[in-house]
């Protein structure tokens, strides 16, 4: 009896044509998924998008000019773990094609010039280290200096970046201080929360928008629901920390489906301009 056998692929469906939805568990044809803004047409589950996809989704084609491209994370603590911080940075840079978890710059949305930033949850969970905090702060300063409306899309499940210790935690205060200065202008700041937006990012710049928008079903909060339940030893309400729950309780202003996100932001910018 042979120790192994070669299984030959038949003439079935080629690989890479379908994606399993994390919401309903059904297979979705990739072409359909792409045409539907990477949202499941059955259950409205919003798949996670990377930074470059967010730029393509929201900004006018060819209008985005990235800034602060030379900022790179250092390893101030010489962090060691299962993987070192340097190893983790290289791994996620290779995986995402990004130098870090945040992309900032200037672009146009329906012809309106804006300062735009986005965090990418695929890069160390979109956590806020020194570079992310510095990029967000410089973006806010660019918006002030050039009198531009500010739009930031947040996707962070990691909050402050533990690899950088206190240097990461201080970015919460730094970004909040920059936005306090921005708030003294008559310019709008629109914050868009995506799945997930948690911890230090949510407790700083992500929650400070003049208008705070969230995509449907996004996990939004400080500490995750499992940790809270273990701490207070009580069952949390149904849908706790979802966009819809937080809208009902007044923490955010709007829940907007991805296909309506760009026109909604465009209308808001018109209202602030008027």
pLDDT of residue 10: 42
When pLDDT is cut at 50, 70 and 90, the band that residue 14 belongs to is low
**Ramachandran category for residue 138: left, alpha or beta (phi over 0 → left; psi -120 to 50 → alpha):** alpha
How far is the C-alpha of 144 from the C-alpha of 46, rounded, in Å? Answer: 32
Domain ranges of the chain: 15-47, 48-273
pLDDT at residue number 80: 84
Q: What is the mean pLDDT of residues 246-267?
A: 93
Q: Give the pLDDT of residue 3.
A: 42
For the residues 10-15, what does the mean pLDDT come to?
50
What are the pLDDT digits (tens) for 139-169? 999 999 999 999 999 988 777 888 888 898 9
- Cα gap 272→163, rounded to integer Å: 39
Residue showing tokens 């402050």:
160
Instruction: Categorize the per-residue pLDDT at 257 as very low, low, confident or very high, splitting at 50, 70 and 90.
Output: very high
E strand residue ranges, 31-184: 65-67, 102-109, 112-119, 150-156
- The domain 48-273 is classified under which CATH number: 3.30.70.20, 3.90.226.10, 3.40.50.800, 3.30.429.10? 3.90.226.10
Q: What is the pLDDT of residue 1?
A: 41
Per-residue pLDDT tens digits for 168-225: 899 999 999 999 999 999 999 999 999 988 888 888 999 999 999 999 988 888 876 7
Residue 103 pLDDT > 60: yes
Region 250-266 average pLDDT: 94
Confidence of residue 8 (pLDDT cuts 50, 70, 90): very low
- State mean pLDDT over 113-129: 90
Average pLDDT over residues 230-235: 75
The mean of the pLDDT values for the chain is: 87
Predicted TM-score of the model (pTM): 0.85
């Amino acid at each position: 009896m042979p120790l192994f056998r070669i299984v030959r692929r038949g003439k079935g469906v080629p690989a890479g044509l379908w994606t399993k939805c994390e919401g309903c568990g059904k297979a979705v044809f990739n072409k359909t998924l792409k045409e539907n803004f990477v949202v499941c047409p059955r259950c409205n589950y919003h798949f996670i998008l990377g930074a470059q996809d967010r730029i393509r989704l929201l900004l006018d084609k060819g209008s985005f000019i990235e800034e602060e491209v030379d900022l790179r994370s250092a390893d101030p603590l010489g962090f060691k773990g299962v993987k070192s911080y340097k190893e983790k940075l290289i791994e996620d840079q290779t995986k995402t094609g990004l130098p870090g978890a945040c992309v900032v710059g200037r672009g146009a949305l329906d012809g309106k010039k804006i300062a735009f930033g986005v965090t990418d949850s695929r890069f160390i969970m979109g956590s806020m280290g020194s570079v992310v905090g510095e990029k967000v702060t410089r973006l806010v300063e660019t918006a002030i200096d050039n009198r531009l409306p500010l739009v930031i899309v947040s996707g962070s499940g990691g909050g402050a970046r533990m690899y950088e210790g206190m240097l990461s935690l201080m970015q919460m205060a730094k970004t909040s201080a920059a936005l306090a200065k921005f708030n003294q202008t008559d310019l709008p700041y629109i914050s868009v929360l995506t799945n997930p937006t948690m911890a230090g990012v949510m407790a700083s710049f992500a929650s400070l928008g003049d208008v705070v928008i969230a995509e449907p079903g996004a996990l939004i909060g400080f500490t995750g629901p499992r940790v809270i339940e273990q701490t207070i030893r009580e069952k949390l309400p149904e849908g706790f920390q979802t966009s819809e729950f937080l809208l009902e309780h007044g923490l955010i202003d709007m829940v907007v489906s991805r296909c309506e996100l760009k026109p909604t932001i465009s209308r808001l910018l018109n209202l602030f301009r008027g």
